Amino acid sequence: MAEVTAEAAEVVGTTASAAPRMRSAARRARRIRAGLARARGLWRDFTGESAYDRYVERHRREHPDHAPMSARQWWRARADFDESNVSAGCC
């Protein structure tokens, strides 16, 4: 990244020493956004929200000759499967 000269810093209304702080703030913001994206992905996996997305991904990869079920159809099929395969034990 190019160094900010005092004249260039005056033009944009900052000081030359403010530029490194702005860069570190931008890096910090990127790290926070990346952390939040990871947390969102984990939360979606934990709650099952990403299950349909994984199904569509796998279906398109393994069965490219026909379209996957709609989200509504998939959730209904999943609920039907869960209801018909009830486990009485802990595992």
Q: Which pLDDT tens digit goes with each residue over 25-62?
A: 899 999 999 999 999 999 999 988 899 999 999 999 99
| Two structure tokens written together for 27 | 């890096």
Q: Can you say whether residue 69 is alpha, beta or left, with left for phi > 0 and alpha for psi between -120 and 50 degrees?
A: beta
Identity of the residue numbered 41: G
Total-model pTM:
0.56
Instruction: Find out whether 69 and 77 touch, Cβ atoms under 8 Å.
Output: yes
3-state helix, strand, coil in the chain (%, to 5): 70, 0, 30
